[in-house]
Chain A
């Protein structure tokens, strides 16, 4: 079970990251990156096996619902796995240096590793439900990472928005996956048949597509991705460009053989992908924040991938895989460059950046390499773009698809010029700019060089992973990866887009100035805001309707509802009363009288404290009853609870104003009536319940097996920790969560409503 061990090891390392960070400070990333790099080497070494016959692993987890710990390393998984571990390792190194001196560095590294394990799980999983579990974990880790600077409003907003959008899509996805599993009669992904002709096809495709489109920031859900840029830059490079946002693309690619090849598929993916490319590419041109520029081009790139998968066929499958790799390399590099620039100059505003090449030569060189790849000139980018254009031109929807591709390519060229060249040329505008430590330029440099180097050996790349990856999308893939395809329309379109983009980039300053004036939120995000505001209004209306804030009303509602339900049940049922003689002993009568006296005394007391103390008589009376009935465990717990309750009451009372009797006599009589009726009803219920026996009570089994099976003579305890241990586990989990909630609320109140939990 190597994949399971790999994922578990990454999660375990995530737990150790804070300590490592404390010990090694900003060098912790170097040590932590050894594990992802090791896994990278392991997966790379499996490449021949993957190309021959993809290895599989399987272990039952909950076989009753078809949920197995099934993993499979095929070409697509290998490509993603290498990106996740390779870029992940570089990002860990980078993040350690980036957060130098920040006490939260360990937490960031821990979250990054948590994400890495989840994402690796997504791509290795060979079971629909297992895949979904990891899928949701990536959403959770993304939420934690976007909201990392939790003291910033924008950061919290971005985190919640990303979680709502991707989590909401996740719900649709879960329904779609379960439906798919039912339709296909298997949850094992590698065994899924083509469902193209299945009657439920349209429904389950729509659900799965919503899950994928939200996750991969497709129009109209694209707005969360630019807002996710509030995360620290290493996170943006890793999650929100290279890996996590590609999970939707991954799943579409993964399910291409199952759901692809239909008209619905082709039209939907072309329309959504194309719209995303145009919207993302267009909005990228008018941003001035480096990270937002890159975020919008990432949106466009994700649209390109969806479009390519929509085209279908061999050429498109190959193009999608090549572009996926090229984009992960150059965009990851550019994000890391943006982080280094931010780190070195303190700003990401392109209007204030120029001439950085002199002060940050290494970063500048890495940016140039990545920019060339994005432009489509450096080999990897060129290869991907050529393949994409050829695929688009050979499809029935060529005009739409090639058109969208051209628009995106122009935008890419434009942006590549701005972020890879212009901010580094000219006269230096930031006198304090400086090159970062090796950890800060190693990542972009390696990714930039790979973007050039891998493209120089397309045949090797194809044999190593490209062909196998395309094969997962398009079975029996027979493509041929090469740089030079002769002078054809695709080449002409590519060159034309580059020229247009570079010419257009001259107008960049004007476009940015135009965009900066317009603070208007895009329509889609406005719809999101309206939906959230509507949900809040609904909740407020409902709350003000049912939550009066008065304890008496709550009690009366609860008790009244119980009584009505009880009465309704009574109407249709005649209970059996116990007909054995009651064996009442004198001391039991005394106890009863004492408890009754306590009740009456508490109701009549003139101070809160005396009421609590007198009520204690009832509590201890109950404890004594337990003793008499042979339940010492319950009695002890009751006594301890009684004591602690008094302490809590006392601590609360010192904050309350002096006790005053505000209720009138009729109100009090009414309360007394409600209390008496309820008490009588509960007593009656206990009495008749003891006579109702449906089947053998389970207690006999517990008594019999407590010692032989569970090695314990205290049955109550054995039930709690063994026979019914799972229940107890749930209870203590709830208890701990409730405790945390109470403490957080009180300390928030203490610190004046702040969010701190200390």
Chain B
């Protein structure tokens, strides 16, 4: 029966555990990749955060929800706050230059052989979105999974 198979998420399964353990770092790297490229290519903080949350959700199914909390170390509520703080900080930085709230500030670096790196406050803002989406999604899933 399907229902019983679903109930097995608590039970140790070698295959699922191995897959989850291998997939978690891959998904995390992929989510960071999405976050980083978001400004120019498809991706961004929202998608990245969801992918990272999905990675940990897989981990929670293979092991215990508790193990995910242990792996993350930081309290998810702290991450939510940190995300909002990042987004707010990104908005405030522009004000230091006497520009309106949320004005983007950019710094660019011209490296050798045409390498150019541009980074600005919108990226910090996106990091905030990433953190909030990730921590909210994951904490909803985890607290649901911990329900008895």
> A interface vs B, CB < 8 Å?
607, 609-610, 632-633, 636-637, 640-641, 643-644, 647-648, 650-655, 658, 710-714, 716-718, 720-722, 725-726, 728-729, 732-733, 735-736, 738-740, 742-743, 746-747, 749-750
Contact = CB atoms under 8 A, between A and B. Distances in A.
A712 B39 contact: yes
Interface residues of B, number: 57
A653 B147 CA distance: 12
A654 B144 CA distance: 11
B136 to A, nearest CB: 3
A724 to B, nearest CB: 10
30 contacts: A607-B2, A640-B47, A640-B54, A641-B50, A643-B54, A644-B57, A644-B137, A654-B7, A658-B3, A712-B39, A714-B39, A714-B44, A716-B44, A717-B39, A717-B43, A720-B44, A721-B45, A721-B126, A721-B129, A722-B122, A726-B101, A728-B129, A729-B102, A732-B87, A732-B129, A736-B132, A738-B136, A743-B139, A743-B143, A750-B143
B63 interface: no
A711 B120 contact: yes
B140 A743 contact: yes
A610 B2 CA distance: 8
Nearest to B129: A732
Interface string B29-44: 0000010001111111
B44 A747 contact: no
A746 B39 contact: no
A637 B47 contact: yes
Contacts of B120: 711
A607 B2 CA distance: 8
Contacts of A736: 80-81, 83-84, 132, 135-136
Contact of A636 (B42, B129, B141, B145): B42
Nearest to B139: A743
A632, A658, A710, A739 pick with most chain B CB within 10 angstroms: A739
Q: Which 5 A-B pairs have the closest CB atoms?
A: A739-B136, A640-B50, A632-B42, A712-B39, A732-B132
Given A717-B38, A721-B123, 16 more contacts: A609-B3, A609-B6, A633-B47, A637-B46, A644-B137, A654-B6, A714-B38, A722-B125, A725-B91, A726-B91, A732-B84, A738-B136, A739-B135, A739-B137, A746-B147, A750-B148
A154 to B, nearest CB: 28
A493 B21 CA distance: 85
Contact of B44 (A652, A721, A726, A742): A721
A15 to B, nearest CB: 10
Interface string B1-28: 0110011010000000000000000000
A652 to B, nearest CB: 7
Nearest to B5: A609
A607 B3 contact: yes
A710 B50 contact: no
Contact of A746 (B45, B51, B144): B144
Nearest to B65: A651
B7 A710 contact: no
For A653, A726, A729, which residue has the most chain B Cβ atoms within 10 angstroms?
A729
A52 B102 CA distance: 41
Contacts of A652: 144
Contacts of B135: 736, 739
B54 to A, nearest CB: 5
A501 B42 CA distance: 80
Interface string B77-93: 10011011001101100
Given A643-B54, A714-B43, A721-B122, A742 B140 contact: yes
Contacts of A733: 84
Contacts of A655: 147
B93 to A, nearest CB: 12
A711 B46 contact: no
A726 B53 CA distance: 24
A640 B134 CA distance: 12
A732 B140 contact: no
Interface string B52-85: 0110010001000000000000000100110110
Contacts of A658: 3
Contacts of A650: 6, 9
Contacts of B129: 720-721, 728, 732
A651 B144 contact: yes
Contact of B141 (A609, A641, A644, A653): A644
Contacts of B147: 651, 655, 746, 749-750
A287 to B, nearest CB: 41
Nearest to A725: B102
Contacts of A722: 102, 104, 122, 125
A644 B46 CA distance: 13
A725 B38 contact: no
Contacts of A712: 39-40, 122
Nearest to A655: B147
Given A653-B6, A720-B44, A725 B122 contact: yes
Contacts of A750: 143, 146-148
A641 B50 CA distance: 7
A647 B141 contact: yes
A725 B50 CA distance: 19
A636 B43 contact: yes
A713 B102 CA distance: 19
B132 A735 contact: yes
A725 B135 CA distance: 20
Nearest to A610: B2
B69 to A, nearest CB: 11
Contacts of B54: 640, 643-644, 647
Name which of B45, B144, B146 has the most chain A CB atoms within 10 A of its CB.
B144
B118 interface: yes
B143 A747 contact: yes
A716 B128 CA distance: 17
A713 B40 contact: yes
A654 B3 contact: yes
A643 B47 CA distance: 12
Nearest to B31: A640
A710 B122 contact: yes
Contacts of A651: 141, 144-145, 147
A732 B86 CA distance: 11
A738 B45 CA distance: 19
Question: Which of A653, A712, A726: most chain B CB closer than 10 A?
Answer: A712
Nearest to A658: B3
Contact of A718 (B87, B122, B141): B122
Given A725-B91, A742-B143, A732 B44 contact: no
Contacts of A710: 104, 122
A733 B50 CA distance: 16
Contacts of B43: 633, 636, 714, 717
Contact of A711 (B84, B102, B118): B118
A643 B132 CA distance: 18
Nearest to B41: A714
A731 to B, nearest CB: 9
